[in-house]
Amino acid sequence: MNVQAEARSERLEERVYRPLTHTSRGWYLWLGLLALLTTVGFFAYATQLQKGLASTGMRDTVIWGLYISNFVFFSGVSMAGTFISAILRITGAEWRRPLTRMSELTTVSALLMCGLMPMMDLGRPDRIWHLLRYGRLQSPVVWDILAITTYLTASAIYLYLFLIPDSAALRDRLGGKVSGLRHKVYTLLALGWQGRPEQRRRLERGAAVMMLLIIPIGVTVHSVVSWIFGMTYRAGWNSTIFAPYFAVGALYSGVAMLIVLMFVFRRVYRLEEYFTEKHFRYLGYMLAAFGVLYLYFTFAEYLTVAYKLQGGEKLLLEELLLGRYSLLVWGGFFGGQILPILLVALPWTRTIPVLFAASVLVNIGMWIKRFVIVVPSLSLPQLPYEWGVYTPTWVEMAITAASFGGFALVFTLFTKLFPIISVWEMKEGWEKEGLRALPATAPATGGLAARPALLTSESGGASHE
């Protein structure tokens, strides 16, 4: 390896290992805020345990509310992370390298929150073990439990596999700089990794299996989530395209979440050299592609219903498009679907801050979409009785806020223990690049690390294709 390449590796290590040993006051402030959110969430849940679900806004007509909306939202976010990481690895897209760890972590973190939500929603959380004791495979609820636990296990393994070499590096590097316990944890996680060829071979084989497995598992998760609704007779839910519709929506909102996270980490940990304009652009293209696909599904779903105007479907559609949900529906449609796609499609708005803003819009829009799928179909009366009304209470809002806080907390703590960029994979990429293009093209010298990568977009982040 030449001098430049070595300097490049060192710069990366210096940058991504820094948060592991140096803690700023801002980090503590942020942690405090998240701790506050989760504490309020715990308090809200304690209230709910004490008073029962009567402390929520749910009642006999609208039987599900924020919890189930969050559940669908987080399962969507979770699907994209590992899924995209696996697809990019399989297709050998070199630009994936700085993104994989973050996307895999997104899946794990979102799935934890996703799995928590139905538990918050149970009328009898004390009987949750009944699911193990009496579980029936015929129930969509059990499909969900199986799919989510499988996906969580698989994506945790997947995340961990690629963490082994980095743990070994931390074990070798951070001895003495971190507490003895933490050093022991790194040693334990490294599994005696020395980077020997046969170790590499084994890791590669394991990773290849996981990559292929994780894609169908990811698809099952969001499919069975949709079947919680699709297996009923309700207007708006009684649809055959729900599984692919939800899966595409999941990829759409998941990619948006990745862009948001990329933007945040780029800012906070000064990773401009690695999360380059190109990464934003490429993920932006993905976002737009999934967005257009999602538009197509939305169109197909609503057209087939609107054309026939069957019984309850007519009443529901009127409420959605013209009635009391119309603001949410149209706001979500234009703000969360049309506008973000336009922002990516138009070359002059395709900048990092605008892509970030578009992704935030997508996330909000998709959350609204989840809410609009769950609540209106439930508030529609099944027989000629009055429409259901649903106003979430502070308990539900606090638990919702805490779930987003928990999602962020997983990232906050993880990045204190492990680098958010997979260092060894970056190096592997550079090695490949060096082998392919000898002599290695030297990046512009001097002060590059401090310069925003936008200006030298192709130099960093193993962006060779």
Partner 1 sequence: MDQGPGKARVNRRQFLKLLGTVGAAAAAAPLLPSLLTKVGVVAAQGSADESAPRRQWAMVFDLRKCEGCVTTDKPPQCIEGCNTEHFVPKGQEWIRVFEMEGAAGHASFFPRPCMQCENPPCVNVCPVGATYRTEEGITLINHERCIGCRMCMAACPYGVRVFNWGDPENPAGATFASYSPQYPVPHRRGTVEKCMLCAHRVKDGKLPACAEACPMYAIYLGDFTQDIATNGKEVVKLSTFLADHSAFRLKEDLGTRPRVWYIPGHGQEYGHDINETRQPKPARTWQELGATLESPHGGHK
Return residues touching partner 1 (CB under 8 A).
Answer: 51-54, 56, 58-61, 63-64, 118, 121-124, 127-128, 130-131, 133-136, 138-142, 145, 228-229, 231-234, 378, 381-385
**What residue type is 211 in one-letter code?**
M
What is the nearest approach in angstroms of partner 1 to the Cβ of residue 115? 14
Q: Which is nearer to partner 1, 1 or 122 (CB)?
A: 122
Q: Which is nearer to partner 1, 348 or 385 (CB)?
A: 385
What is the nearest approach in angstroms of partner 1 to the Cβ of residue 217? 20
Residue with tokens 């129930």: 139
What is the nearest approach in angstroms of partner 1 to the Cβ of residue 354? 40
How many residues make up the chain in this entry? 465
Q: For residues 399 and 296, what is the distance between their CA atoms, to the nearest angstrom?
A: 33
Residue with tokens 């929506």: 249
What is the nearest approach in angstroms of partner 1 to the Cβ of residue 318? 18
What is the nearest approach in angstroms of partner 1 to the Cβ of residue 123? 2
| Nearest in space to 17 (alpha carbons), one of 160, 184, 169, 165 | 169
Q: Which is nearer to partner 1, 65 or 406 (CB)?
A: 65
Q: Which is nearer to partner 1, 54 or 181 (CB)?
A: 54
Residue 288 phi, psi (nearest 5)? -65, -40
What is the nearest approach in angstroms of partner 1 to the Cβ of residue 61? 8
Helix locations, 91-196, DSSP H: 100-121, 130-134, 140-161, 164-173, 180-190
Q: Which is nearer to partner 1, 128 or 413 (CB)?
A: 128
What is the nearest approach in angstroms of partner 1 to the Cβ of residue 114? 15
Alpha-carbon distances of 422 from 50, 161, 202, rounded to whole Å: 45, 11, 18
Provide the sign of the torsion angle of the four alpha carbons 120, 104, 17, 282, taken in this order.
negative
Q: For residues 109 and 103, what is the distance between their CA atoms, to the nearest angstrom?
A: 10
Q: Which is nearer to partner 1, 32 or 52 (CB)?
A: 52
Residue with tokens 């690049």: 433
At 229, list the tokens.
Answer: 């609704």
What is the nearest approach in angstroms of partner 1 to the Cβ of residue 144? 9
Distance between start and end Cα atoms, the chain: 20
What does 282-323 look like in DSSP terms, one character per residue?
HHHHHHHHHHHHHHHHHHHHHHHHHHH--HHHHHHHHHHHTS
Q: Which is nearer to partner 1, 198 or 386 (CB)?
A: 386
Q: Which is nearer to partner 1, 124 or 436 (CB)?
A: 124
Q: Are 174 and 183 in contact (CB under 8 A)?
A: yes
What is the nearest approach in angstroms of partner 1 to the Cβ of residue 398? 18
Cβ–Cβ contacts within 10 Å for residue 65, how many?
A: 24
Q: Which is nearer to partner 1, 123 or 353 (CB)?
A: 123
